[in-house]
Structure 1
Amino acid sequence: MHSIPYTSATELLAQFRAGTLDPVAVLETLIETAQAQQATVNSAASLQLEQARTMARESRRRYAEGTARPLEGVPVIVKEETAVKGWPRPLASLVFKDRVATENHPIVDKLLEAGAIPYFQATNPEFCVLGHTWSKMYGVTRNPWALDYSCGGSSGGSGAALAAGVAPLATGSDMAGSIRLPSSLCGVYGYKPPFGRLACASGDEYLVQAVEGPMTRTFDDLVLMQNVVAGPHPSSFTTLPYTPLPTSYGDLKGMRIAYCPAFGNPTLADDIHRNLLRALDGLRRAGAIVEEVELNWDLAEINQVLLDGLRAVFVDEFMGDIGEDDAAKLCSYTEVLREQGKSDAVSIIPSAVLGRQLHRDMHDKVWGKGYQAFICASMLTTALQADQDPVAEPIIEAHGHQYDAYLGWCLTPPFNLLNRYPVLAAPTGLSDLGVPTGMQIVANAFDDETVFRVAASHAKAGSSKLFVEQFPPASQPALAAVA
């Protein structure tokens, strides 16, 4: 059995029910881990301990009385952007450093109703508009596997905290890859559900490129958490009815799976490609018919159209609240967005048009050809410094290639335009730098169960087993000592 910081939620619940672990003692152990990681990984925006300790005592009582709920006593990481009533919510910005959430996000209500214990508030970049996790407010959040390198973003604090052992479950949000990038770079599982599967926050009904979703260290925990947080909520009028996902899956015998490693982009790093092909071999052993298809997508165009759409419905309006006196408090990457908003107009319409074109291409080459799932890498390279500043250094040079430093290394944005597609990020191995790599498992609109079925076989195949075996990262003695 793993040490407490690396015990899954599924196993914690089993031991809580058996009386072999106590929710109060588990929380205290994880608090020690959370405090210790701050000196190296720096993934905590805040620790909310008083309420959590009260909730842990309540969970202990419920287990004794036989009234435990589905996630009773399980500690949870909550991304700072995700509102928890009474918790700070500055969106990592010094401009809004005194802001406090006045109500819960629906995903938080669902977790609380299930008996989970939110206690760790994870860092994100300012306004969640960067693929790394650093800000003037919180400093640099680092990858527990290799501290010099990026943990991804914008849910990088959640991914790093999971990998550092502070809790088995975390919330994330994704509007350009913000769940899938940190999940892949931190060696954990993450799910970008189709828009409408989870209730969005009030006011976000038209921000269809962005969704909340679960992040976990194990596949079984991803199913567990998704089944708790999905489905209707009283504050949302956009959420679909929900049928819980199965908790066990058979093999993939006869399933046809298409893959295209990087949408035709020639700069995919060899180590990421190697790990992806190994994962695909595991799916073949599970009975799947896995075949390569040709998709030649212009990633630069996709990225720009997505960013323009996000600016049209979210960023520009938000930046309008920031006066000239506060501009100096902004991070470099948000100041650029603010200046762009003053000089040029953008529209959501091109996002809809390009999304339709991408779906037609997927239909012509994937869904219409009888494939049930599609797989690609999550990013082109892992050679990403933790404090990478795309304004100061707009070009990344790695393994003989150049990448636009803002989104040019990401393979996630197409599926924010295709925002009704479910996409699950799963770990595939370690890069030559010692940073985890990952893949995206995709299905057609609202076909959630297919991506979980494929991911279940991937987890069983062993190509991601090293992450379970190596937590905590052996290269970080300070973290290993905590566990």
Structure 2
Amino acid sequence: MQHANYLPATELLAQFRTGTLDPADYLETLIEAAHRQQETVNCAASLHLDAARAMALEARRRYAEGTARPLEGVPVIIKEETSVKGWPRPLASLVYRDKIATENHPIVDKLLEAGAIPYFQASNPEFCVLGHTWSKLYGVTGNPWATAYSCGGSSGGSGAALAAGVAPLATGSDMAGSIRLPASLCGVYGYKPPFGRLACAPGDEYMTQAVEGPMTRTFDDLVLMQNVLGGPHPNSYTTLPFTPLPTEYGDLKGMRIAYSPAFGHPALADDIRSNMMAALDGLRERGAVIEEVTLNWDLEEINNVLLEGLRALFVDEFMRDIPRAEAHKLNSYTADLYEKAGGPRASIMPSAALGQRLQREMQDKVWGKGYSAFICASMLTTDLAANQDPVAEPMLDINGHQIDAYLGWCLTPPFNLLNRYPVMAVPTGLSELGVPTGMQIVANAYDDETVFRVGANHARAGTSKLFIERFPTMGPAA
């Protein structure tokens, strides 16, 4: 079977039910892919095969007995940051290389309860504070479409693993674009739900800029996974009630959608823009009325304010817990944050004020004008080295513009300030470098279904062809 390891979860479940595919046999197919990709892509933090094989045999038994659960026998990629009891959880750091998770993250519990098989732990950058995926502990994770280029971060290992065909579903987390950046760069779907839609880890209740979310290769799998992950968990007191998303969506006839390619930023790469415009034409063919709006947002201000808020809520306190004697083990990008943590106290208040300002402008120019959704690109360029170091090289040249190398190329942070907005990253094609491009579909606060309706129509329009006609090579760019 051509591309057997790229079957969607929805197709796997159908074949498991009819008996045309065996969960235990299929797991072995993916394990082979998992070992194979490590030679070039390097997105595995660890593999957990004995337990997975036992779960696959349990899935076989359940299908035979007619007691299969919603994700019975489907292998899943777990971001290293996402706790699985008994698995390593060093956060890609030599400082914590011996740390073992003592309990499951709530979304892991939900996956296990649904019959999924977590077996592949995906790499992330140290402390998940970089838009690429490399560390002293795990090395450099490349992009399966073109390994010299970035797979994004911090859920880059999850995005790369999906693109490498090691499983159809993956977990990610997003506090400045960490789901949406790797989803776009790896050609997959990623969903940043509004805060409260998924249960957070105990202790993260005030980290409203950061959420967990699903990543998949197909839209239908994204619906499937989100419906499993959504809703309350006994260990979380901030989770909202959840009504499962529809699995079928009508067209977009009469829906008004606003777009701003890059919030007025002049450095947007031509190939990202052209792929996005083709995707918008696909939505027009599905009935949408799409119009450009002017949002001249100061992305440097947005990025700086978001980072200050993250420092105030999480990063500075975390860094202060690292003994000075251990600081030499840190990567350049975390060592930089370590030094900043010893300076003036950061504040969350600028984030709250700027988020309110952005919401007022969205209300004035988008939601209040009758638009149901908003679309923009995910990033300014795909010309990003897999091992890009924003400390060693603090500026990037993008289309003749000097851009901050840390977050300046990202178009995702505004929606971490507007953290009640649901946002889906969807693939739009390949750049001239052979790296996938993507765009973000946004709706107003807690309007998840609108985002999924637009995402469904984007998928049905079929403009990207990724994982349909085009598949990764696992090697350098052609």
TM-score, normalised to structure 2, is 0.99
Matched ranges for 1:435-454 at <5 A: 435-454=435-454
Distance in 2 (alpha carbons) for counterparts of 1:38 and 1:429: 25
Question: Which segment is superposed worse, 396-405 or 124-133?
Answer: 396-405
3-state SS in 1 of match to 2:253: coil
1:286 — aligned with what? Answer: 286
Aligned ranges for residues 196-345 of structure 1 at < 5 Å?
196-345=196-345
Task: Tell me the equivalent position of 1:378.
Answer: 378
Q: Is the 8 A contact 1:459 1:465 kept in 2?
A: no
Residue in 2 aligned with 1:73? 73
Residues in 2 aligned to 1:436 and 1:349: alpha-carbon distance in whole angstroms: 36
Displacement of 1:350 in angstroms is: 0.7
Equivalent residue number for residue 391 of structure 2: 391
Aligned counterparts of 2:468 and 2:307: Cα–Cα separation in 1? 35
Confirm or deny: 8 A CA contact 2:146 2:434 kept in the other structure.
yes
SS at match of 2:469: helix
* Residues 466 and 97 of structure 1: CA distance in aligned 2, closer, same or farther (over 3 Å): closer
Runs of 4+ that moved beyond 4 A: none
Deviation at 1:477, TM superposition (A): 9.5
Distance apart, 1:474 and its partner CA: 4.0
Q: How does 1:94-243 map to 2 (within 5 A)?
A: 94-243=94-243
Distance 1:218 1:469 in 2: 13
Is the 2:6–2:168 contact (alpha carbons within 8 Å) kept by the matching residues of 1? yes
Structure 1 residue 178: deviation in Å?
0.1
CA contact (8 A) 1:458 1:464 kept: no
Query: Is the 1:264–1:294 contact (alpha carbons within 8 Å) kept by the matching residues of 2?
Result: yes
**Is the 2:37–2:474 Cα contact (8 Å) retained in structure 1?**
no
State how far apart, in whole Å, the 2-side matches of 1:388 and 1:477 are.
16
Residue 466 of structure 2 aligns to a residue in which SS? helix
The DSSP-based 3-state class of the residue aligned with 2:76 is strand
**Following the alignment from structure 2 to structure 1, what is the Cα–Cα distance between the partners of residues 475 and 389?**
25
Would you say the 8 A contact 1:378–1:412 is kept in 2? Answer: yes
Q: Which residue of 1 aligns with 2:4?
A: 4
Distance change >3 Å, CA 413–CA 477, structure 1 → 2: closer
Q: Following the alignment from structure 1 to structure 2, what is the Cα–Cα distance between the partners of residues 290 and 159?
A: 29
State the match for 2:424 in structure 1.
424
* Corresponding residue of 2:401: 401
Give the Cα–Cα distance (whole angstroms) in 2 for the partners of residues 364 and 465 of structure 1: 36
Aligned length: 477
RMSD: 1.1
Residue 481 of structure 1: aligned partner: none
Distance 2:470 2:71 in 1: 26
CA distance in 1, matches of 2:123, 2:185: 16
What is the CA deviation profile of residues 12-58 of structure 1, one whole-angstrom value per residue up to 9, with x for unaligned ones? Answer: 00000000000000111101100110010000000011110110000
Within 1, Cα distance between the matches of 2:294 and 2:245?
31
Query: Could you tell me how far apart the structure 2 residues matched to 1:198 and 1:2 are?
Result: 35
Letter matched to residue 393 of structure 1: E
CA drift at 1:468: 2.3
Partner of 1:53: 53
CA–CA distance in 2 between the matches of 1:434 and 1:400?
Answer: 21
Distance 2:189 2:33 in 1: 21
C-alpha distance in 2 between matches for 1:123 and 1:475 = 17
Correspondence for 2:365: 365
Q: Which amino acid aligns with 1:323?
A: P
Report the secondary structure of 2:342's partner residue: helix
- 1 CA distance for matches of 2:398 and 2:374? 27
Unaligned ranges ≥5, structure 1: 479-483
Tell me the residue number matched to 1:468.
Answer: 468
Kindly tell me: are residues 477 and 335 of structure 1, through their superposed partners in 2, closer, same or farther at Cα, counting changes over 3 Å?
closer
* Amino acid in the other structure paired with 2:318: F
Distance in 1 separating the partners of 2:50 and 2:474:
33
Q: Is the aligned partner of 1:348 residue 2:348?
A: yes
Q: Given that residues 114 and 228 in structure 1 are in contact (C-alpha distance below 8 angstroms), is that contact kept between their aligned partners in structure 2?
A: yes
C-alpha contact (below 8 Å) 2:92/2:127 kept by paired residues: yes
Deviates more, 1:457-466 or 1:367-376: 457-466
CA distance in 2, matches of 1:138, 1:31: 19
After the TM superposition, which of the residue ranges 48-57 and 394-403 deviates more from structure 2?
394-403
Between 1:44-53 and 1:399-408, the stretch displaced more is 399-408
Q: Which moved more, 1:314-323 or 1:412-421?
A: 314-323
Give 1:403 deviation, angstroms: 1.6
